[in-house]
Structure 1
Amino acid sequence: MQATQSIWRAWGARAAVLAMAGLLVACASKHPPAEPVLQGPVPGAAQMGPPEPAAPGVPPSAAAQVQAQKEAQAAVEELEDGHEDEARALLRKAVNLDPNNKLAVSLLRQLNLDPVSLFGRESFSYTVKPGESLSRIAGHFMGDIYLFYGLARYNDIKVPKQVAGGQVIRVPGRAPAEEREPARSTVKPAPKSSRQAPTPVAPPAAVMPATPAVPVAPAVAASVPAVVPVPPAAEPAPAPAVDTAAAAKAKAEAQRQKLIEQHTQKARASLARQDLDGAIANWSKVLELDPGNDTARLERQKAIALKEKVKALK
């Protein structure tokens, strides 16, 4: 009897274990376990979107520098036409590609800062010559042709390329010697004396003995004509001499400035097309015409450096 009860207890325990196992399986099927959370980057995630920007302090590649300069040059053309929004978008692209691009940084400063706070209040009046541009004026008086847009904002000019000859503008800074007005003479004329000089008195004529009058016959007196003195004809004033040497020199200087402007524009256009050889050649011609042009020298060095980097990548 006791053996039979022990067998039934064993079978009951086994049945209870089997029932609990079935209950656990049923719960597991209704509530699957949560997926494990992966730590670290997911393999292949770089293919799901654009790559992250490079870490700060990492220099941009040569291709990025060339593209940044191209975007900045395109912004120059937009600013010449007065399109600020389009230029601002291009300059942001340039800075994202190359934060050290000097042209893009300079143009953004001219767009964002107040021109008076940027250049100062001191300025002088200047009359634009025929065919002269704001970039030419900025390069001559301010040392950088790319300060043309800040100069335009300084004078409230919306479209820089529409400046005309004869227009009077204000140029920031102190006027150079050739633009200053000649100093007026401070020597005062001697005051006039209130006393008048004594009128000279002619010495008395020598007393001559009276000569008796000789009567003249009326017929003879009528036949003698009166002699009237005729003044000599006035000579015409000589015509002013034309200074042909000065005129020829001024003409040659105007032609030289025109060639400098043409090669400058060609150099910019070549760089915008990524034609580094064309940009270097045109900047070299500018330096031949104007050896002291610091802007041309700097831009030529940049183009040569970019060409060397592109060649190294190839």
Structure 2
Amino acid sequence: MIALLTGACAGLPSSDQGTGSPTHSEAANSAAATDDDAGKTVVARDLRWIIERLQDGQLVAAREALVAYLKREPANATAKSLLQQIDTDPVALLGKTHTTYTVRPGDTMGALAGRFLGDPLRFVALARYNGIDRARTLAAGQTLKVPTARMSQAQVVDVGGEALPAPTGSAGEREEVHRRRIEVELAAGRGDTAAAAIEQARADAPGNGAWNAWLDPMARRAMAVAQQQRGIALMERRQHEAAYEAFGQALAQEPELEPARRHRASLRGVLVAEYHKVAVVRYRNQQLDEAIALWDKALKLDPGFEPARGYRTRALELKRRLNALDAS
């Protein structure tokens, strides 16, 4: 069952490891019909089928199957937990206090439930807590509420902790919480929230030279990461020139920052090709000044780009001849 959830249904286990687990023969006979107390025919299902329906948001069908399943296997802990997650208000089940988490590529609701709630099979409650109908529909960049009622403060910091309250305790304890929170934000590529956490730390210890010794370099990195975020967003919108500039500003703060350095190198070639392509069109339309300006930009990025160099020479010569005709 854990493999089913953390692997986003890449493989389905053949049995449940809990009390009263379904057997191989039960799975083979999962389509057998039974009668409930009201005389209504209900198709017997195994837990794999039920979990798949829960991941697809089919709570009514899954609940009906769970009720039937528990009549056959009343002690099965997994089935009882899944039914409780359907029938219980998720806030009552998980608690009101929460922090937030930004979904990363490869995350699944089951894996996140295992990480933050201690049990991947609590994915139903976590999905309902976030108002998500289909647990399968997680997308990178999506923000989730993560309940903190059973977390230590250190665990909350590791989640991402945008909703983390101001640290308490001794100066050393507060410093450690601030530092860890900022490190988590930077590692996740969230420059803006890292900068906000840095400001919170500065406000907690104004003028503290020992804190500033590590806050100042973190502030520079936060600025760089924020520009990197901006560059990635611009690149995704195909605003290549603005993205190239943003990555340049990021690297001015942190020369080895990745992926800013890699993206900027890639964009250099893209921009050179784009400038040259547009310049050729301008040249053919005898918009020579515009064409020359574009080739200048291309050669500034790549002085060895011969197509731009050759066309620029021809454009200058054509411009000289046209000016001579106009003067005669």
- Per the shorter chain, which TM-score range? 0.3 to 0.5
The TM-score, its normalising length taken from structure 2, stands at 0.38
**Higher RCO (CA < 8 A, seq sep 6+):** 1
Q: Structure 1-normalised TM-score? A: 0.39
Higher helix share: 2
